[in-house]
């Protein structure tokens, strides 16, 4: 018995945006807690302070990645198809006209 499922190309992408935001915020929260360090002198030998630059570097990469994601999602598939070389070795499997 075949399992059937459908992927809506024009569907609501709210769930994906929420999951992306949760993952980004979780990674920043984890890095913030790691780079914060413990203030008690007894813990200084166990957990040396990690520079906050690690947190800010992650924040910058998340921002750059989000910008790249938005730009890439706005590119028309027809524009990509027009830019494809005519001698492309990639052909679709369902017809010979591609």
Q: Does residue 41 lie in a domain region?
A: yes
Give the angle 58-63-68 at the CA atoms, nearest 5°.
125
Domain count, the chain: 1
Residue 66 counted as domain residue = yes
User: Is the entire prediction scored with pTM above 0.75?
Assistant: no
Q: Judge whether 7 lies within some domain.
A: no
Structure confidence at residue 96 as a pLDDT band (50, 70, 90)? low
Confidence of residue 79 (pLDDT cuts 50, 70, 90): confident
Q: What is the 3-state secondary structure (H, E, C) of 2-37?
A: CCCCCCCCCCCCHHHHHHHHHHHHHHHHHHHHHHHC
Exposure class string for 3-39: b at 16+ Cβ within 10 A, else e: eeeeeeeeeeeeeeeeeeeeebeeeeeebeeebeeee
Look up the domain containing 28 and give its range: 14-75
Q: Is residue 48 part of a domain?
A: yes
Residue 59 placed within a domain: yes
Does 95 reside within a domain?
A: no
pLDDT of residue 52: 80
Q: Is residue 30 part of a domain?
A: yes
Judged against a pLDDT cut of 90, whether residue 21 lies above it is answered with: yes
In a domain, 90, yes or no: no
């Amino acid at each position: 018995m075949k399992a059937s499922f459908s992927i809506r190309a024009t569907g609501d992408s709210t769930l994906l945006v929420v999951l992306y935001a949760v993952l980004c915020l979780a990674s920043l929260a984890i890095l913030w807690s790691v780079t914060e360090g413990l203030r008690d002198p007894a813990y200084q030998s166990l957990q040396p302070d990690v520079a906050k630059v690690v947190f800010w570097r992650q924040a910058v990469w998340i921002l750059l990645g989000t910008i790249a994601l938005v730009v890439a999602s706005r590119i028309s598939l027809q524009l990509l198809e027009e830019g494809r070389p005519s001698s492309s070795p990639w052909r679709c499997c369902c017809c010979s006209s591609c």
